[in-house]
Structure 1
Amino acid sequence: MNHQENNIVRQRDSSQAGSTTARVRLLLTAILASFAVVALRLAQVQVVEYQKYRQLAQRQYQAKVPLPAARGSLYDRNGSVIASNSLFVSYAADPTVAVEDARLIAKKFSKEFGKPSSDYLQKLRSDSRFVWLERIVDVGYRKKIDPKDYPGLVVRSEPKRLYHDQVAGQLIGSTDLDNKGIAGIEAEFDNELRGADGYVVFQRDGLGRARPSVDYPRVEPVNGSDIFLTIDMQMQAIAEQELKKGIEQCNAEAGVAIILRPKTGEILALAQCPNLDPNNFRNCSPQAQRLRAVTDMFEPGSIFKIVTASSALESGLVTPESPFYAENGTYVVPVVNGKTRTITDTHKEGWISFREAIEYSSNIVMAKISNIIGSERLYTMARDYGFGIATNLELPGEVSGVLKKPSEWSATTLNTIAFGYEVGVTPIQIAAAYAAVANGGILMKPFLFLKEQDQTGQVVRSAHAQQIRRVISAASARTMTDFFEGVVEHGTGKSAALPGLKIAGKTGTSKKYTEGHYE
């Protein structure tokens, strides 16, 4: 019995020892597997994802601070400053450094700027390494808020656009808080004016102080170029003053005035009313900001008779003294299917010459002349004058206008276009067309850009007059000019006459198309 019991005990001990050995082996295997996983992860972090974690580590102690370029200035044709820069200061913070003084900083900014401290606290508790607290404030605040007194606070000088005259607001446009052009000339020439920002890399030392890094080169900013315009600011101011008077006298809502040099296409003034102060541009409505000279399209009415008259003269089918019956102011025209339409004149005339039809602005005679010259000649002349085509003036938002092809015309279109309806034009297109007559029949491209000059005074590029095409002969241009002088001397434009000065012009009254009919 004793021998058997001993055997049983030995077998039990042997079984327990084997079980313990298996558990040890399993534990060792688990430990080795854990080490293998850790080793693989370390290899992944240190080799595969090395750049990622290196960049994350760098962000903890270094920052790339931009060095803004100075925006170029704007000048008129005479070298008078239109827009330049004035230095202001902006405050920013690194929330990870300023965390302990966040309440103190918020309280100080609230006191100085009159805003709730909660606004600043919200920014200072951001996860970002860089937040703006105040932008573009007076440099006097540097004496009141010293970054040395508040860890994590940063102050930097920033330029703000300064407009020297309260004129040409829509034309000049404006910039945003980052001095980027957002409208008008400022937007159109933003690439040239803005330049290229530089930067410097700062690293924090053991005491948390930010110092320029010796491992990274300082990249200096390249300041923007200066832009010179064809505008004469004295003429611009006069144009705006006179336009405002005209608007008030006529009880109109708005108006546009353009002074253009016919022989070159240079725009000397581009005024609109109501005007706005470019220094207060961002606070004005989009309606007030738009550049009516290039964005507004309208049916021109009688000023479009320049096309009908030019086509008649160039075709040789009508002479200045050709007689026409003006129907005593009311002309009933058959259309189709027994339908008729009525064309009326303000001045009720009987038999008059072609010349007199222009002077008294007869819609009826223009309609009759359009039947003589036909749709193709009328359309071609309109296109030659540049209608239905953008002028590519250096301003954002220009529209092309509307000029339908003859294949798209209805039974009434020929007569209607002859006196300025069923066609859409912009003020700059009208100005360019009339300038072509004054230039002996040659259409020039209108332009505002005169030259670009870098900060060393070197001219980078300059503009030159561009001839687009001859629209009418020199002889026809002289005849048209004579017609337009007659308009002012004894026609519909007598109110524009000045003693001792010959003035050529054409009046136009356009009706608005409202709810299916013209008013």
Structure 2
Amino acid sequence: MDGIFKRIALIFKIFIIIAIAAIMKVAYVQFINPTEVSASDIAYREEVIEATRGDILSSDGRPLAMSVPYYEIRMDCLAPNKDTFEKYVDALSRKLSEFFGNKSAAQYKSQLLKARRDTLRYERIGNRLVDYSELEQIRQFPILKLGVNRGGLIVNQKNRRNNPYGRLAYRTIGFINTQGVGVGIEGTCDYYLKGTPGRQIVQRVLGGEWIPVNGAESVPPKDGYDIQTTLDIEIQEVAENALKKQLLKDAGIEGATALVMEVETGAIRAIVNMKKDGRGGFDESYNYAIGSASEPGSVFKLVSLVCMLEDGYVTLDTPVNTENGMWRHAGHVYTDTHPIGTVTVAKALEQSSNVAFAKLIYEHYADNESAFVDRIQNMKVGERFNLDIQGEARAVIYSPEDKMWSSSTITSMAIGYAVLVTPLHLLTFYNAIANDGRMMKPYFIENYRQNGETVKKFKPVEVSGAICSKNTARTARAALRGVVKNGTGRGTDSPNFEIAGKTGTSRISFGGKYGYEKNGYRRYQASFAGFFPANDPKYSAIVVLYSGETKGNFYGATWALPAFREIAEYIYSTSPEWKRELDGSMAVAQDAPSFSTGRADEQRTVLSELEIAGKKNAMASIAKGGWIKIKADSSHSLVAERYEIESDSLADVTGMGLKDALYILENQGFKVKFNGYGRVAEQKPAPGSSIKRGATVNLILENYETE
């Protein structure tokens, strides 16, 4: 009996020791060395679900940058039952081999058999992401067509950024690089574009993969806002083409920029930045317009003129002796291209006399140099605008207290040297003169949108205080009109309207010991800034071209002015406010408004604002989501129809906006080219055609709106 009790006591002691060891182990892991638990010991975790990045849109809602969904294919190789898997694995392997082309059917079969044998529930299938139309094909493959639970098909959506208009305004639209650093609107508005990620619970399965847990609570992602910009695609294209024509005329040109601004609001309607690439072509790779501050040259003479007009020192009729085209001051020689004798201030601006403006500024401000600098500062010439896109360069305007100041600084500033400003700074000043002295803050973003509804709208902002009196602004406009009519800008005018502006040519410093000349070579900046129509300005613009090293001349009138005129002529000829009245009848508006095919959420937003027959029934159909086509029946009552996209034929996108048409066609695996603007009026090949993935679909866009 004693032996039995001893054995029981021994067993009890062993259990006690094991229990104590277990408790100590838990305590050690939790409190002494908690990191000892490895990731492989964790069975569940929370995983982030990517949100769809918002689109960047033009002023009329066309997509400049958009997210196109692609899909990663995975397979739960244990989901199919044994009979189904063994019966159809050969057929599935053949389909996968034909579709992806990266492995033979035998290799795919070997992969699937091994994955099932190793009980892998998240096996990667294929060597690339697939688009929507390809996904629909894969859903019909043997075994996989049985779905998630019985066929094991797992689909993970990945979004890729696409620019439908290629490199148009690319530097302004911007991008997010592989390190997550953004530039342009993509970078500035990243917080609003990227949306809010969702969350889901995933489980670790054999093989180390993580798969979503069916039935577990999840938080869906909130997609990012769409950003509607101020950019007008047609004006942007014309500005880009006008610059390219000039760039291709001389292999020595290194880059160029053009900006178009709406006078009343400050909205930027076009911004082009072209820099020579390594292949001899030009690309939107450097933001000259807002990121490059340089000595502007003669276009800055307008600033000097406005200072003197506002301070009451001169009128346009004040005479000035140009010293036969050469004037020495403080060790510097100021020269003109040709002597013009004694002329009026107006004539001096028309002929862009360096001597005249250097002498005038010295005469009136030499005893109080700070007054000249203060006047420039008060006119907001070097204002930091805190733009709604990144990359704004700082203007440099020296004052007498600066170490860089010398006895010749004030006379150099008078003609656009010893001062650094960007093309946008200059344009904003010219725009203020066109706007009776009211300076408008330049802006690139109109609003944030979600599901077609405006979330936040940005209004024009006037920079505090007028930069000058209305009388001064109008006098300056008359002087700029004289430049185009009688001076260095002569020949710019269109037969239909008048332009006012100023040419500019400046040397670009080499820096260091070389100054403005290096071994006989120089670099130039040629520009033209102005506005139109001169008598009632609606748009202002600036064009700047940058030369490489040259021994020749490089004038704003020769290089920048033709591009400015081409841009102005296009805007004038296409803007409704300047179109001549059409003779003949126009189609009358229908009793019911015109709708088109589109996303249900966006159709709902528009329809909710209308009071019209059939609205209630149409809204009920839209509530189901998806794609909807709305039209008016014979009684002018609205009818909403479901729009189904077939996976095996070319979708019908006629009547759609470009954004929706691109989304559908690119998801079907087609390349898209388009011409015109508005909605899709015609597509080739015709809807319903059977064409191969990767084929090109051509869209003709037309504006259906009536004036």
* TM-score normalised according to structure 2 size: 0.57
CA–CA distance in structure 2, aligned partners of residues 188 and 291 of structure 1? 15
Cα 1:43–1:271 shift into 2, 3 Å: closer
SS in 1 for 2:482: helix
Residue correspondence of structure 1 range 149-298 to structure 2 within 5 A: 156-166=156-166, 167-176=168-177, 182-204=182-204, 212-213=212-213, 216-249=216-249, 252-274=253-275, 289-298=285-294
In the alignment, does 2:341 pair up with 1:350? yes
Q: Secondary structure at the match of 1:72?
A: coil
AA at the equivalent of 2:462: Q
- Given the alignment of the two structures, is residue 441 of structure 1 paired with residue 437 of structure 2, yes or no? yes
Q: 1:104-133 CA deviation, whole Å, 9 max, x = no partner?
A: 9xxx9xx8569xx9xxxxxxxxxxx99999
Deviations 1:10-53 (A, max 9, x none): xxxxxxxxxxxxxxxxxxxxx99997983663242465369767
Structure 1 window deviating more from structure 2 (259-268 vs 159-168): it is 159-168
Question: What's the CA shift string for 1:174-193, capped at 9, x where partnerless?
Answer: 24579x67221111111111
- Is 1:42 the counterpart of 2:33 in the alignment? no
| Equivalent in 63, 66, 89 of residue 81 of structure 1 | 63
Q: Report the Cα distance in structure 1 between the residues aligned to 2:64 and 2:327, rounded to whole angstroms.
A: 53
Match of 2:459 in 1: 464
Write the distance in 2 (CA, Å) between the matches of 1:226 and 1:56.
Answer: 38
1:403 equivalenced with 2:397 (yes/no): yes
Please provide the CA RMSD for this pair.
Answer: 4.1
Superposed displacement of residue 310, structure 1: 0.5
Which residue of 58, 62, 70 maps to 2:52? 70
- Flag the 1:268–1:49 CA change in 2: closer, same or farther, 3 A: same
- Tell which deviates more after alignment, 376-385 or 432-441: 376-385
User: Unpaired segments of 5 or more residues in structure 2?
Assistant: 1-13, 77-92, 108-121, 145-150, 517-521, 523-707
Q: 1:393, 1:73 → 2: CA distance?
A: 20
1:386 aligns with 2:377: no
Match of 1:431 in 2: 427
Note closer, same or farther for the CA distance 1:186–1:210 as it changes in structure 2 (3 Å cut). Answer: closer
Give 1:88's aligned amino acid.
Answer: Y
Q: Which runs of 4+ in 1 moved over 6 A?
A: 31-37, 91-94, 129-135, 143-149, 151-154, 205-210, 283-287
For 2:310 and 2:347, locate their aligned partners in 1 and report how far apart those are by CA, in whole Å.
18
Deviations 1:182-205 (A, max 9, x none): 221111111111101112212257
Amino acid at match of 1:465: P
CA deviation string 1:389-444 (max 9, x = no partner): 32222221111121112222211101000000011111111110100100001111
1:366 equivalent in alignment to 2:344: no
Secondary structure of the residue aligned to 1:517 is coil
1:44–1:399 distance in 2 versus 1, CA, 3 Å: same
1:132-177 deviation line (CA, Å, top 9, x unaligned): 996755567766899999x999752211122221311111112457
Maintained 8 Å contact 1:297/1:424? yes
Superposed displacement of residue 217, structure 1: 1.8
Distance change >3 Å, CA 425–CA 228, structure 1 → 2: same
Match of 2:503 among 482, 492, 507: 507
Higher RCO structure, 1 or 2 (CA under 8 Å, sep 6+): 1
Identify the range of structure 1 (129-138 vs 224-233) with the bigger mean alpha-carbon deviation: 129-138
Per-residue deviation, 1:371: 1.4
Measure the CA separation in 1 of the matches of 2:446 and 2:66.
Answer: 18
Partners of 1:396 and 1:132 in 2: how far apart?
Answer: 41
**Contact kept? 2:102, 2:126, Cα under 8 Å:** no
- Give the letter for the 1:342 counterpart: V
- TM-fit CA distance, 1:495: 3.4
Q: Partners of 1:216 and 1:32 in 2: how far apart?
A: 39
Ranges in structure 1 where 5+ consecutive residues have no aligned partner:
1-30, 95-103, 118-128, 277-282
CA separation of 1:215 and 1:343: change in aligned 2, threshold 3 A? same
Alpha-carbon distance change, 152 to 400 in structure 1, aligned in 2, over 3 angstroms: farther
Q: For 2:187 and 2:234, locate their aligned partners in 1 and report how far apart those are by CA, in whole Å.
A: 23
CA contact (8 A) 1:324 1:353 kept: yes
Q: Contact 2:169/2:284 (CA < 8 Å) preserved in 1?
A: no
**Per-residue deviation, residues 457-503 of structure 1 (Å, max 9, x unmatched):** 33221111111131111001111100101100110011322224211
Shift of 1:80: 2.0
Give the Cα separation in 2 of the matches to 1:412 and 1:205.
77
- Note if contact 1:70-1:223 (Cα within 8 Å) is conserved in structure 2: yes
TM-score normalised according to structure 1 size: 0.76
2:461 alignment partner AA:
Q
Closer, same or farther in 2 for the Cα pair 1:353/1:191, shift >3 Å? same
Say which SS state the counterpart of residue 234 (structure 2) adopts: helix
Q: 1:135–1:177: 8 Å Cα contact kept in structure 2?
A: no
Alignment of 1:5-24 (within 5 A): none
Tell whether the 8 Å contact from 1:136 to 1:177 is kept in structure 2 after alignment.
no
Shift of 1:230: 0.9
- Contact 1:91/1:134, CA 8 A, preserved across alignment: no
In structure 2, what is the Cα distance between the partners aligned to 1:176 and 1:154?
29
Q: Is the 8 A contact 1:385 1:471 kept in 2?
A: yes
Equivalent in the alignment of 1:477: 473
Partner of residue 311, structure 2: 315
SS of structure 2 residue aligned to 1:240: helix
User: Which one has a larger percent helix, Structure 1 or Structure 2?
Assistant: 1
Cα distance 1:134–1:488, how it changes in 2: closer, same or farther (>3 A)?
farther
Are 1:90 and 1:134, in contact at CA under 8 Å, matched by a contact in 2? no
Distance 1:261 1:161, change over 3 A: same
Distance verdict in 2 for CA 1:168–1:275, change over 3 Å: farther
Return the letter of the residue paired with 2:382. Answer: G
2-structure distance, mates of 1:397, 1:131: 41
Cα separation, 2, equivalents of 1:262 and 1:353: 29
Give me the whole-angstrom Cα distance separating, in 1, the residues matched to 2:125 and 2:377: 53
Paired-residue identity, %: 28
Deviation at 1:76, TM superposition (A): 1.4
